[in-house]
A and B are shown apart, each in its own frame.
Chain A
Amino acid sequence: MQQVTFRVWRGEHGEGDFVEYVINVEDGMVVLDAVHAIQAQHASDLAVRWNCKAGKCGSCSAEINGKPRLMCMTRLEDLPLDQPVTIEPMQAFPGTKDLVADVSWNYEVKQKIKPFKPRTPDEADGTWRMDQADVERAQEFRKCIECFLCQDVCHVLRDHHKHDDFIGPRFLVNTAALEMHPLDTEDRLSDLRHRDGIGYCNITKCCTKVCPEHITITDNAIIPLKERVVDEYYDPLTKLFRIFKPKAKDA
């Protein structure tokens, strides 16, 4: 048992300050446990989101000692406990209260992305056949738990506030999952270029580094999408070809 100080951001709609709480911590505790202990012992109205406590739901995103992380998967023993542990909400989104950020923008962005549109079934019984290898490519992107930590860290959103022009790494991953879905026939390349602002991404890879699901966001999702956009818009031959053959899928 050890006494540790936590500096927790308290406030509403961006107005507020850090408040220090001292609690006893035990072996194996994660940051979310500390927040719960503070709630139970010192501040019952301390606002925080969480559900699964096992890194599966993506609710408990926050910035711990300045780094975007899941509170439920950050063990205290991996932090320097001789100094106060700072916990604050994600900074790329407006604050709601305390550790809760207003992430509603993400839900609006998702709504705009063209939904899945499968090819006609392969078999008479209405089912499809797919290879495990093809499935796996899109499965990597479908691991996303929508924690929005990648959105939080991306400088285009965080520092340049391009929320109106750039959908952010999460939704590039989302688009990649759809585009690389073996059955999908929709075309999202024009949206990517004109509306979703894929050009804003300058491949800094910060998003990949924070992804708790270890999705290789930049290399596997964004770069291939960028290549497709380039092929589509700058390669006249491909473009001509596409007039005759609407969409060549990977399947």
Chain B
Amino acid sequence: MGWTTHECDVLVIGAGGAGLRAAVEASAQGASVTVLSKSLLGKAHTVMAEGGMAASMGHVDDRDNWRVHFSDTMRGGYYLNNWRMAELHAREAPDRVRELEAWGALFDRTKDGRILQRNFGGHKYPRLAHVGDRTGLEMIRTLQDHGIHQGIEFLMENTVVRLLKDGDRVSGAFAYDREKGRFHVVHAKAVVLATGGIGRAFRITSNSWEYTGDGHALALHAGAELVDMEFVQFHPTGMVWPLSVRGILVTEGVRGEGGILTNSEGRRFMFDDIPELYAGQCADTPEEGWRYVTGDKDSRRPPELLTRDHVARKIVKEVKEGRGSPHGGAFLNIAWIRENMKDSEAHIKKKLPSMYHQFKELAGVDITKEPMEVGPTTHYVMGGVKVDADTQMSSVPGLFACGECGGGLHGANRLGGNSLSDLLVFGRIAGAAAAKFASDQGDTSLDEAQAQDVEAIALAPMERRDGENPYEIQHDLQDVMQDLVGIARAEAELAEALEKIKDLRTRADTVCAPGNREYNPGWHTALDLANLLDVSEAVALAALGRPESRGAHTRIDHPDKDPELGKVNTIIGHSASGAIEARHEPVVGRTEALQEIIEEMG
């Protein structure tokens, strides 16, 4: 047999913010913990997060509290969120942020020495704890440096191919290491998925090669279900030029600091159309908007700080109607603040240092002097593994999920800054529950035959002598998703996408990765493909089943909201025959008390 076996109580798959927080917690509860990750430690997606993490500490505006945060999150998610998750998240986020500080994170400060908070889209008050525009780096490094002293075993550059099961219960995972291509079986009593998102299914994305929906697909194969997969967040501001950097994120922090969006006519088009849900919360004039971003508590937010789905659609509209920037985007201008501020250049470099460098070095644009060109980019998936709010356990006993690969918190659209806090809140909950599950339920037995089957699946692309290039299939899939399942969807196109995905699956069956097993990216891409195809099908199927426009999901053939669909989530699962199926289920977790908060906040 060709693998090494590792034993632990809790296996955590993923070393981003969610996985690390889960591992730290499980270990603190006394479990032996092993963490697997595709990349080196500290390189997960979390490192890229820029703007900040949302927590209603009320340091900048003391009117803030968890109830306001809860209601903002629900409004942002068009009330499809798991209500209980939104409640837990809003209640616990402040403690999770303070805990990071106790582990060494150094956030920017208020004048009286507390953690500073900044404005972000959809948050009523300044709420994002941040470190310039590199908050994710601060978070991942703090967790990493804390975690390595907890006795956790880290197996870096190890990719999980399948979960293993003992009857109904999950019993571990089968993985390969990138360096040598050797196989590893991690035998565990509980498994936490923290694998992040699915952005690589699309052509234009802010996501890295790692984001191939592995956790989503692993869970599906193990018999768990996914929720809200139709909701993929297209961030309004990705770079559009040069072509090779298309999709790279421009943080919402630019708008939080006062950046404005204009079209080729110089018009601030965001003022043209304010959605009903936010009618009373938006500035009437540019002056009021500026007062808001500079901290005037009586002013309302500028329309650039509306939710991402809305801003993205507005940019697409300007471009479609011929008022786009030269490379097919809109102008995002932070340089203009010099009209209101003496030392604006220094201020911009201080508040947005990595944006300054990113544009300077990759596009030759000085953002303190010139506008940037931006357009929508695939950024985040709201959908994820369907879990119980209080434990983060899926329908498969012993299988937990948290972070971006978990589903429920964000509903139809995620607010910026709510992901980093999500990772900490639910990472901790999942880690604690997994440790408890492991100690309550005890050992699982390892089924060698399952591991052998996975080994054969994993080796197949390497053993084929001729067949298709994995990069080509991935590329074609990205085109299908971008063009047919993107920001504006329609029934015929979604149906066509599903057909094409079927064809791509047939092609993927013959994928061939020449070379040997040592650090062979072609082989890795071939193995990721199966996951990408599963999540792509899930997204297209869920989108087809929601004939309405809500949050991040826009159907041009059904531009309005359907009140009945506003009461249900889409659930994706495997049928008995192994096909991917979608159905609707009522939204969960709503209580009288929470409903009252929503009504009270208006």
With A12-B518, A126-B98, A128-B101 as contacts: A28 and B354 at CB distance below 8 Å: no
Q: Taking the complex as formed, is B430 at the interface, i.e. its CB lies under 8 A from any CB of chain A?
A: no
Contacts of A143 in B (CB 8 A): 134, 137
Contacts of B525 in A (CB 8 A): 44
With A45-B515, A115-B145 as contacts: A27 and B243 at CB distance below 8 Å: yes
A52 to B519, Cβ gap below 8 A? no
Q: Which of A68-109 contact B (CB under 8 A)?
A: 73, 75, 96-98, 100, 102-103, 107
In the complex, residue of chain B having the shortest beta-carbon distance to the beta carbon of A117: B104
Query: Which segment, of A53-61, A151-159, A239-247, faces chain B?
Result: A53-61
A56 to B354, Cβ gap below 8 A? yes
User: With A and B bound together, what is the CA distance between A55 and B45 in angstroms?
Assistant: 13
Q: Taking the complex as formed, is B167 at the interface, i.e. its CB lies under 8 A from any CB of chain A?
A: no
Interface magnitude class on chain A: 35 or more
Q: Taking the complex as formed, is B113 at the interface, i.e. its CB lies under 8 A from any CB of chain A?
A: yes
Q: Taking the complex as formed, is A26 at the interface, i.e. its CB lies under 8 A from any CB of chain B?
A: yes
User: With A and B bound together, what is the CA distance between A147 and B136 in angstroms?
Assistant: 16
User: With A and B bound together, what is the CA distance between A26 and B246 in angstroms?
Assistant: 13
Q: Taking the complex as formed, is B209 at the interface, i.e. its CB lies under 8 A from any CB of chain A?
A: yes
Q: Taking the complex as formed, is B210 at the interface, i.e. its CB lies under 8 A from any CB of chain A?
A: yes
B145 to A110, Cβ gap below 8 A? yes
Contacts of B48 in A (CB 8 A): 51-52, 54, 56-57
Query: Which segment, of A15-23, A129-137, A203-211, A217-225, faces chain B?
Result: A129-137
B520 to A47, Cβ gap below 8 A? yes
User: With A and B bound together, what is the CA distance between A125 and B375 in angstroms?
Assistant: 44
Q: Taking the complex as formed, is A30 at the interface, i.e. its CB lies under 8 A from any CB of chain B?
A: yes
Within the complex, which residue of B98, B145, B363, B519 is in contact with A96, where a contact is CB–CB below 8 Å?
A: B519
Query: How close is B124's CB to chain A, nearest CB, in angstroms?
Result: 23
With A29-B244, A56-B134 as contacts: A116 and B209 at CB distance below 8 Å: no
Query: How close is B518's CB to chain A, nearest CB, in angstroms?
Result: 5
Main DSSP-derived SS at the A contact region: loop
Query: How close is A59's CB to chain B, nearest CB, in angstroms?
Result: 5
Query: How close is A236's CB to chain B, nearest CB, in angstroms?
Result: 33
User: With A and B bound together, what is the CA distance between A139 and B109 in angstroms?
Assistant: 12
A55 to B471, Cβ gap below 8 A? no
Contacts of A135 in B (CB 8 A): 106-109
User: With A and B bound together, what is the CA distance between A182 and B105 in angstroms?
Assistant: 11
Q: Among the interface residues B108, B137, B138, which one has the most CB atoms of the partner chain A within 10 A?
A: B137
Q: Taking the complex as formed, is B141 at the interface, i.e. its CB lies under 8 A from any CB of chain A?
A: yes
Query: How close is A135's CB to chain B, nearest CB, in angstroms?
Result: 5
Query: How close is A70's CB to chain B, nearest CB, in angstroms?
Result: 10
User: With A and B bound together, what is the CA distance between A231 and B329 in angstroms?
Assistant: 57
B244 to A28, Cβ gap below 8 A? yes
Within the complex, which residue of B103, B114, B244, B519 is in contact with A98, where a contact is CB–CB below 8 Å?
A: B519
Q: Taking the complex as formed, is A46 at the interface, i.e. its CB lies under 8 A from any CB of chain B?
A: yes
Query: How close is B96's CB to chain A, nearest CB, in angstroms?
Result: 13
In the complex, residue of chain A having the shortest beta-carbon distance to the beta carbon of B150: A115
Q: Which of B37-52 contact A (CB under 8 A)?
A: 39-45, 47-48
B520 to A51, Cβ gap below 8 A? no
B109 to A107, Cβ gap below 8 A? no
How many residue pairs at the A-B interface have CB separations less than 8 Å?
Answer: 169
User: With A and B bound together, what is the CA distance between A184 and B358 in angstroms?
Assistant: 32
User: With A and B bound together, what is the CA distance between A115 and B149 in angstroms?
Assistant: 8
Contacts of B515 in A (CB 8 A): 44-45
Within the complex, which residue of B98, B141, B241, B244 is in contact with A33, where a contact is CB–CB below 8 Å?
A: B244
B43 to A57, Cβ gap below 8 A? yes
In the complex, residue of chain B having the shortest beta-carbon distance to the beta carbon of A48: B521
B137 to A56, Cβ gap below 8 A? yes
In the complex, residue of chain B having the shortest beta-carbon distance to the beta carbon of A116: B104
With A54-B358, A73-B362 as contacts: A40 and B243 at CB distance below 8 Å: no
User: With A and B bound together, what is the CA distance between A107 and B248 in angstroms?
Assistant: 28
User: With A and B bound together, what is the CA distance between A29 and B243 in angstroms?
Assistant: 8
Q: Taking the complex as formed, is A142 at the interface, i.e. its CB lies under 8 A from any CB of chain B?
A: yes
Q: Taking the complex as formed, is B296 at the interface, i.e. its CB lies under 8 A from any CB of chain A?
A: no
Q: Taking the complex as formed, is A2 at the interface, i.e. its CB lies under 8 A from any CB of chain B?
A: no
Query: How close is A14's CB to chain B, nearest CB, in angstroms?
Result: 13
Q: Taking the complex as formed, is B495 at the interface, i.e. its CB lies under 8 A from any CB of chain A?
A: no
User: With A and B bound together, what is the CA distance between A43 and B110 in angstroms?
Assistant: 52
Contacts of A96 in B (CB 8 A): 179, 518-519
B522 to A97, Cβ gap below 8 A? no
Contacts of A110 in B (CB 8 A): 145, 148
B41 to A107, Cβ gap below 8 A? yes
Q: Taking the complex as formed, is A179 at the interface, i.e. its CB lies under 8 A from any CB of chain B?
A: no
Within the complex, which residue of B47, B132, B244, B471 is in contact with A145, where a contact is CB–CB below 8 Å?
A: B47
Query: How close is A51's CB to chain B, nearest CB, in angstroms?
Result: 4
User: With A and B bound together, what is the CA distance between A71 and B248 in angstroms?
Assistant: 15
Q: Which of B196-224 contact A (CB under 8 A)?
A: 208-210
With A33-B244, A127-B114 as contacts: A52 and B108 at CB distance below 8 Å: no
Q: Taking the complex as formed, is A65 at the interface, i.e. its CB lies under 8 A from any CB of chain B?
A: no
Contacts of B519 in A (CB 8 A): 47, 96-98, 100
Q: Taking the complex as formed, is A66 at the interface, i.e. its CB lies under 8 A from any CB of chain B?
A: no
Contacts of A57 in B (CB 8 A): 39, 42-43, 47-48, 208
User: With A and B bound together, what is the CA distance between A50 and B200 in angstroms?
Assistant: 14
B109 to A131, Cβ gap below 8 A? yes
A52 to B208, Cβ gap below 8 A? yes
B47 to A49, Cβ gap below 8 A? no
Contacts of A52 in B (CB 8 A): 47-48, 208
User: With A and B bound together, what is the CA distance between A186 and B148 in angstroms?
Assistant: 17
The interface bits of chain B over 122-166 (1 if a CB of A lies within 8 angstroms of the residue's CB, else 0) are: 000000000110100110010001101100000010000000000
B357 to A55, Cβ gap below 8 A? yes
Contacts of B134 in A (CB 8 A): 56, 143
With A28-B241, A138-B106, A139-B131 as contacts: A131 and B113 at CB distance below 8 Å: yes
Query: How close is B471's CB to chain A, nearest CB, in angstroms?
Result: 4
User: With A and B bound together, what is the CA distance between A127 and B357 in angstroms?
Assistant: 33
With A30-B244, A116-B104, A129-B112 as contacts: A44 and B469 at CB distance below 8 Å: yes
With A52-B47, A100-B519 as contacts: A142 and B138 at CB distance below 8 Å: yes
B361 to A75, Cβ gap below 8 A? yes
Within the complex, which residue of B43, B98, B471 is in contact with A44, where a contact is CB–CB below 8 Å?
A: B471
B109 to A132, Cβ gap below 8 A? yes
B40 to A59, Cβ gap below 8 A? yes
Query: How close is B273's CB to chain A, nearest CB, in angstroms?
Result: 31
Query: How close is A203's CB to chain B, nearest CB, in angstroms?
Result: 26
User: With A and B bound together, what is the CA distance between A98 and B44 in angstroms?
Assistant: 22
With A44-B470, A54-B358, A139-B106 as contacts: A39 and B244 at CB distance below 8 Å: no
In the complex, residue of chain B having the shortest beta-carbon distance to the beta carbon of A78: B361
Q: Taking the complex as formed, is A63 at the interface, i.e. its CB lies under 8 A from any CB of chain B?
A: no
A39 to B137, Cβ gap below 8 A? no
User: With A and B bound together, what is the CA distance between A46 and B41 in angstroms?
Assistant: 22
In the complex, residue of chain B having the shortest beta-carbon distance to the beta carbon of A26: B243
Q: Taking the complex as formed, is A118 at the interface, i.e. its CB lies under 8 A from any CB of chain B?
A: yes
Q: Taking the complex as formed, is B290 at the interface, i.e. its CB lies under 8 A from any CB of chain A?
A: no
A145 to B137, Cβ gap below 8 A? yes
The interface bits of chain A over 112-127 (1 if a CB of B lies within 8 angstroms of the residue's CB, else 0) are: 0001101001000011
B521 to A46, Cβ gap below 8 A? yes
Q: Taking the complex as formed, is B245 at the interface, i.e. its CB lies under 8 A from any CB of chain A?
A: yes
Query: How close is B180's CB to chain A, nearest CB, in angstroms?
Result: 9
Please name the 8 residue pairs, one residue from A and one from B, whose CB atoms are nearest each other, closest first.
A28-B242, A45-B515, A44-B522, A129-B113, A116-B104, A47-B519, A97-B519, A51-B208
| A to B CB contacts below 8 Å, 11 in the list | A45-B514, A45-B523, A52-B47, A53-B248, A57-B42, A96-B518, A107-B40, A110-B148, A135-B106, A143-B134, A183-B104
- Known contacts A54-B48, A135-B107; 12 additional CB pairs below 8 A are A28-B241, A29-B244, A39-B522, A45-B515, A45-B521, A47-B518, A48-B521, A50-B208, A54-B362, A55-B361, A73-B362, A75-B362
